[in-house]
A and B are shown apart, each in its own frame.
Chain A
Amino acid sequence: MERLTFDLATQPLRELNTFLHNDAKDGKARHVTVLNPDGAHNIAVGLDCPVEVEIVGHAGYYAGGMNKAASVTITGSAGTGVAENMMSGKVHVKGFASNGAGASAHGGLLVIDGDAGLRCGISLKGGNIVVGGSVGSFSAFMAQAGRMVICGDAGDALGDSLYEAVLYVKGNVKSLGADAQYEPMTDEDIAAVASLLDQAGLDHDPKAFRRIASKRSLYHWNADANQEY
């Protein structure tokens, strides 16, 4: 069966997830449409095969959580922790995303067409995040690896305690967090932003973005420095 529809108004969530973990992995469906999500939590979590899932409407917490290889699209908005700890594949939110979007994602691509809430990309570990709108405060907190492209504005303390993740912002940044700094855009950065925008299907001038990375001054204890974290 190529296409299959699950209606969460009549079918339990557990049935959907179990299907996606087992039958979909066995190739019993390439494309699954989820109707009436109605803000349910944990839709399409822990996927482990290149299945395409379309959630028609709004999703609750952790939609597409820990995704591996699958492609999950949410036509509405997503709750807290969308695509948290994603390993690979793609999660696309066509509406807005709540707090902790893409938290600790190790890989894959998270695209949010609208705005994202607080702590977007917190503890990012190698995944890529593209946000068409703005992000809330404390985004990219302790982000270790991966890239974030923010087409709108950013709230307070962007990139606080950054490790090796790199952030690109087009709009205004209310404030940078401890140890984050602006750095010049290189050709490589412009190419990276262009590629991510292209994958996200967003049309912006890559040269209009600013690069933010770690000062690396918090990497080691320093008895003489004022501890600002």
Chain B
Amino acid sequence: METKPVQFKNLSREESYGYDRKTLDYIRNAAAHGLYEIRGMGAKRKLPNFDDLVFLGASMSRYPLEGYREKCLTKTVLGTRFAKKPVELDIPITIAGMSFGALSANVKEALGLAATEMGTSTTTGDGGMTPEERRSSKILVYQCLPSRYGFNPDDVRKADAIEVVIGQGAKPGGGGMLLGQKVNPRVAKMRTLPEGVDQRSACRHPDWTGPDDLAIKIQELREITDWEKPIYVKVGATRTFNDVKLAVHAGADVVVVDGMQGGTAATQTCFIEHIGIPTLAAVRQAVNALEDLDMKGKVQLIVSGGIRTGADVAKALAMGADAVAIGQGVLVALGCNGETYYQNGAHHDAIADYNALGTTPGFCHHCHTGKCPVGVTTQDATLEQRLTPAVGAKHLKNYLKTLNMELTTIARACGKQNVHHLEPEDLVALTIEAAAMAGVPLAGTNWIPGQGF
């Protein structure tokens, strides 16, 4: 008997949810190489985030401020607890720590120029402070990382604040990583490494273990700087409630909490997608910890990890952050994942270079290769010319300006003369997950899951 043709075309081509094409690719890649995938950027999976919250603008029960006429302050002071010279910022939006090595010297300079114009800070990264960065950035936060690459007391003294990095949101519990193609002679020299090694940094600090030791380490940094500079402690978001409390006990002036949407220049994908908690959940836990210790307003909180828009900034502040730090959004403003790059007064097509990496604009996460088609995350002499400091700084300044305008627009709509007056009561959640994580009611109800009815 003749076999009938299959009539159920769609059913017979149903993709498995558990074994979709992405998962099949993953297994085949693992089988072919025996090595996990390493990539850049942050978590790609869908996570509860700030988009799941909305503001309750003023109406009858509260009245708003005029959007263009009335004052709305954005000044932000960090490090008021112990430091003789706290950091004073014009806007509560800072540039997150990203290394020279991960980024080109041009990009680091662009960050400094834009931040200086906007009255905010930039942060060094794993690999030390470059003279370009110190020159261009008026307020520079110097990171003290487990690797201590390029770490030295002269730069400690030159810094405006010091950030002891315990972990980052993309990889809590993991050390830095910079693949060989980005370890060019200058990067290698700064890090005291052989050129071209696949650099895998330590995940623990070499000279302290645990919060009791950290207290002494922080005291050492204070003694070295004669108690002038604020000391930040940065943690990747995991057990955030406890970690923030311990950071405060250890003597931090400022705690930086980086959620799992935070980016990286190179990390194992399993780390990026499967370790850490969403920023939304981390902010609530961090603020609870500060309130529990009666330290809200005494120890400042910086939140990072997936802050993209002015609305994101406003929501983080309303939940209790004092400032935010942005990494990936900044890189996108500089051209990351764009179709063209701007060089010698004209736009040039970069698509062929994305294709050579096996990707296309909008999907690129190949920071780890050092072959960034738009010259952002590279140490290649030719590619890095695709982003000049002046052009990058102009874009970044515009981006920060836009975020700040959106932030103040929202604050005014909520009737606040100061963006730091935004409060959790101004927010409701659109999903049950977000309501539970952020600790604000589901819109239209008084219900905060986990806190009774």
A interface, CB within 8 angstroms of B: 13-14, 17-18, 21, 41-42, 45-46, 48, 60-62, 65-66, 68, 80-81, 84-85, 87, 100, 103-104, 106, 119, 122-123, 125-126, 141-142, 144-145, 163-164, 219-221, 223-224
B207 interface hit (Cβ, 8 Å): yes
Check if B202 sits within 8 Å of A123, measured CB to CB: yes
Check if A61 sits within 8 Å of B213, measured CB to CB: yes
Per the bound structure, the CA–CA distance linking A3 and B147 in Å amounts to 38
Check if A144 sits within 8 Å of B206, measured CB to CB: no
Chain B 26-38 near chain A by CB (<8 Å), digits 1 or 0: 0000000111000
Q: Which residues of A contact B152 (CB under 8 A)?
A: 66, 85, 87, 106
Q: Which residues of B contact A123 (CB under 8 A)?
A: 147-148, 202, 206
Cβ-closest 9 pairs across A and B: A46-B224, A81-B207, A103-B206, A104-B148, A66-B153, A103-B207, A100-B207, A122-B206, A223-B35
Chain B 344-374 near chain A by CB (<8 Å), digits 1 or 0: 0000000000000000000000000000000
* Closest Cβ–Cβ distance, residue A120 to chain B (whole Å): 11
Q: Which residues of A contact B192 (CB under 8 A)?
A: 106, 125-126, 144-145, 163
Per the bound structure, the CA–CA distance linking A81 and B180 in Å amounts to 30
Q: Which residues of A contact B202 (CB under 8 A)?
A: 123, 141-142
* Closest Cβ–Cβ distance, residue A184 to chain B (whole Å): 21
Known: A106-B152, A163-B194, A223-B35. A45 touches B206 (CB 8 A): no
Check if A46 sits within 8 Å of B206, measured CB to CB: no
Per the bound structure, the CA–CA distance linking A120 and B154 in Å amounts to 24
Q: What would 15 more interface pairs be, CB under 8 Å, given A144-B192, A145-B192, A223-B34?
A: A14-B227, A21-B224, A41-B216, A41-B219, A48-B153, A61-B216, A61-B220, A65-B220, A81-B208, A100-B207, A100-B208, A103-B148, A104-B207, A164-B194, A219-B197
* Closest Cβ–Cβ distance, residue B115 to chain A (whole Å): 27
B447 interface hit (Cβ, 8 Å): no
24 contacts across the A-B interface (CB closer than 8 A): A17-B224, A21-B224, A21-B226, A41-B216, A42-B223, A46-B156, A61-B208, A62-B216, A62-B220, A66-B152, A68-B153, A80-B216, A85-B152, A85-B153, A87-B153, A100-B206, A103-B148, A103-B207, A123-B147, A125-B192, A126-B192, A141-B202, A163-B192, A163-B197
B217 interface hit (Cβ, 8 Å): yes
Considering the complex, give the chain B residue whose CB is closest to the CB of A229.
B200
Chain B 164-205 near chain A by CB (<8 Å), digits 1 or 0: 000000000000000110000000000111100110001000
Chain B 150-165 near chain A by CB (<8 Å), digits 1 or 0: 0111101100000000
Per the bound structure, the CA–CA distance linking A222 and B405 in Å amounts to 49
Per the bound structure, the CA–CA distance linking A103 and B206 in Å amounts to 6
Residue of A68, A126, A221 touching B35 (CB-CB under 8 A): A221
Q: Which residues of B contact A17 (CB under 8 A)?
A: 223-224, 226
Known: A46-B156, A62-B220, A85-B152. A18 touches B226 (CB 8 A): yes
Check if B198 sits within 8 Å of A219, measured CB to CB: yes
Interface residues of B in 127-166 (CB under 8 A from A): 147-148, 151-154, 156-157
Q: How many residues of B contact A (CB 8 A)?
A: 33
Q: Which residues of A contact B180 (CB under 8 A)?
A: 220
Considering the complex, give the chain B residue whose CB is closest to the CB of A226.
B34
* Closest Cβ–Cβ distance, residue A87 to chain B (whole Å): 6
Q: Which residues of B contact A62 (CB under 8 A)?
A: 207, 216-217, 220
* Closest Cβ–Cβ distance, residue B288 to chain A (whole Å): 31
Residue of A45, A68, A125 touching B220 (CB-CB under 8 A): A45
Per the bound structure, the CA–CA distance linking A60 and B207 in Å amounts to 13
Considering the complex, give the chain B residue whose CB is closest to the CB of A214.
B194
Of A13, A66, A103, chain B has the most CB atoms within 10 Å of the CB of A66
Considering the complex, give the chain B residue whose CB is closest to the CB of A107.
B152
Q: Which residues of A contact B226 (CB under 8 A)?
A: 14, 17-18, 21
Per the bound structure, the CA–CA distance linking A159 and B194 in Å amounts to 17
Considering the complex, give the chain A residue whose CB is closest to the CB of B209.
A99
Q: Which residues of A contact B227 (CB under 8 A)?
A: 14
* Closest Cβ–Cβ distance, residue A44 to chain B (whole Å): 9
Per the bound structure, the CA–CA distance linking A169 and B92 in Å amounts to 53
Interface residues of B in 203-235 (CB under 8 A from A): 206-208, 213, 216-217, 219-220, 223-227
Per the bound structure, the CA–CA distance linking A163 and B154 in Å amounts to 25
